[in-house]
Amino acid sequence: MKSILQDKKESYLSGQTYGLEDHHIYFGVGKRKISENNGFKVWLTASEHRGTYGVHGMFGHELDLKLKKACQKEYEKNHTREEFIKLIGKSFL
Ligand SMILES: [Zn+2]
Protein backbone atom coordinates (compact mmCIF):
# COMPACT_ATOMS: atom_id res chain seq x y z
CA MET A 1 0.00 0.00 0.00
CA LYS A 2 1.26 3.44 -0.93
CA SER A 3 1.07 5.93 1.97
CA ILE A 4 2.71 9.32 2.43
CA LEU A 5 2.11 9.06 6.18
CA GLN A 6 3.73 5.74 7.05
CA ASP A 7 6.18 3.15 5.78
CA LYS A 8 5.45 0.22 8.03
CA LYS A 9 2.39 -1.98 7.95
CA GLU A 10 1.05 -1.06 11.37
CA SER A 11 -1.84 0.98 12.67
CA TYR A 12 -1.11 4.64 12.07
CA LEU A 13 -2.84 5.40 15.37
CA SER A 14 -1.83 2.63 17.75
CA GLY A 15 1.03 0.78 16.06
CA GLN A 16 -0.88 -2.50 16.21
CA THR A 17 0.37 -4.91 13.56
CA TYR A 18 -2.49 -7.40 13.22
CA GLY A 19 -6.10 -7.16 12.07
CA LEU A 20 -5.32 -4.18 9.87
CA GLU A 21 -7.49 -2.57 7.23
CA ASP A 22 -6.44 0.10 4.76
CA HIS A 23 -8.23 3.42 4.94
CA HIS A 24 -8.58 6.02 2.20
CA ILE A 25 -8.20 9.30 4.07
CA TYR A 26 -10.30 11.25 1.59
CA PHE A 27 -13.27 9.23 0.40
CA GLY A 28 -16.52 9.79 -1.40
CA VAL A 29 -17.18 10.30 -5.10
CA GLY A 30 -13.89 10.25 -7.01
CA LYS A 31 -11.75 10.74 -3.92
CA ARG A 32 -11.03 7.08 -3.21
CA LYS A 33 -9.10 6.81 -6.45
CA ILE A 34 -7.31 10.11 -5.78
CA SER A 35 -6.34 8.85 -2.32
CA GLU A 36 -5.12 5.62 -3.88
CA ASN A 37 -2.98 7.38 -6.48
CA ASN A 38 -1.44 9.90 -4.09
CA GLY A 39 -0.81 7.69 -1.08
CA PHE A 40 -3.47 9.34 1.04
CA LYS A 41 -3.94 6.09 2.94
CA VAL A 42 -3.15 4.63 6.34
CA TRP A 43 -3.40 1.29 8.08
CA LEU A 44 -5.93 1.12 10.91
CA THR A 45 -7.28 -1.66 13.09
CA ALA A 46 -10.85 -2.77 12.40
CA SER A 47 -12.19 -0.83 15.38
CA GLU A 48 -10.17 2.28 14.56
CA HIS A 49 -11.61 1.97 11.08
CA ARG A 50 -15.22 0.88 11.48
CA GLY A 51 -15.93 0.91 15.21
CA THR A 52 -18.27 3.43 16.84
CA TYR A 53 -15.28 5.70 17.51
CA GLY A 54 -13.48 4.65 14.33
CA VAL A 55 -12.98 7.03 11.41
CA HIS A 56 -16.17 5.82 9.70
CA GLY A 57 -18.07 5.44 12.97
CA MET A 58 -20.85 7.48 14.52
CA PHE A 59 -18.43 9.25 16.87
CA GLY A 60 -15.43 9.19 14.60
CA HIS A 61 -15.72 12.60 13.03
CA GLU A 62 -12.86 14.17 14.99
CA LEU A 63 -10.56 11.29 14.23
CA ASP A 64 -11.51 11.49 10.57
CA LEU A 65 -10.67 15.20 10.56
CA LYS A 66 -7.40 14.59 12.40
CA LEU A 67 -6.27 12.19 9.67
CA LYS A 68 -7.40 14.54 6.90
CA LYS A 69 -5.38 17.38 8.45
CA ALA A 70 -2.27 15.28 9.09
CA CYS A 71 -2.33 13.98 5.53
CA GLN A 72 -2.76 17.44 4.01
CA LYS A 73 0.13 18.74 6.15
CA GLU A 74 2.36 15.95 4.90
CA TYR A 75 1.33 16.52 1.27
CA GLU A 76 2.03 20.23 1.59
CA LYS A 77 5.64 19.54 2.55
CA ASN A 78 6.18 18.94 -1.16
CA HIS A 79 3.20 20.62 -2.79
CA THR A 80 1.25 23.84 -2.61
CA ARG A 81 -2.14 24.26 -0.97
CA GLU A 82 -3.57 25.06 -4.41
CA GLU A 83 -2.41 21.66 -5.65
CA PHE A 84 -4.09 19.99 -2.68
CA ILE A 85 -7.36 21.82 -3.24
CA LYS A 86 -7.23 20.95 -6.93
CA LEU A 87 -7.14 17.28 -5.92
CA ILE A 88 -9.49 17.14 -2.95
CA GLY A 89 -11.70 20.16 -3.53
CA LYS A 90 -11.08 21.92 -0.22
CA SER A 91 -8.53 22.56 2.50
CA PHE A 92 -8.79 21.07 5.99
CA LEU A 93 -6.13 23.39 7.43
ZN1 LIG B 1 -11.85 3.75 5.42
CA of 42 to the centre of ligand 1 (A): 9
CA of 23 to the centre of ligand 1 (A): 4
Q: Is the pTM higher than 0.85?
A: yes
Domain boundaries, the chain: 20-88
CA of 24 to the centre of ligand 1 (A): 5
Tens-place pLDDT, residues 36-50: 999 999 999 999 999
Q: What are phi and psi of 23, to 5 degrees?
A: -120, 130
Q: Which H helix or E strand runs over 21?
A: strand 20-24
Whether residue 19 contacts residue 11, with contact meaning beta carbons closer than 8 Å, is answered with no
44 three-state secondary structure: strand
CA of 82 to the centre of ligand 1 (A): 25
Tens-place pLDDT, residues 8-21: 999 999 999 999 99
CA of 15 to the centre of ligand 1 (A): 17
Query: How many CB atoms are located within 10 Å of the residue 87 CB?
Result: 18
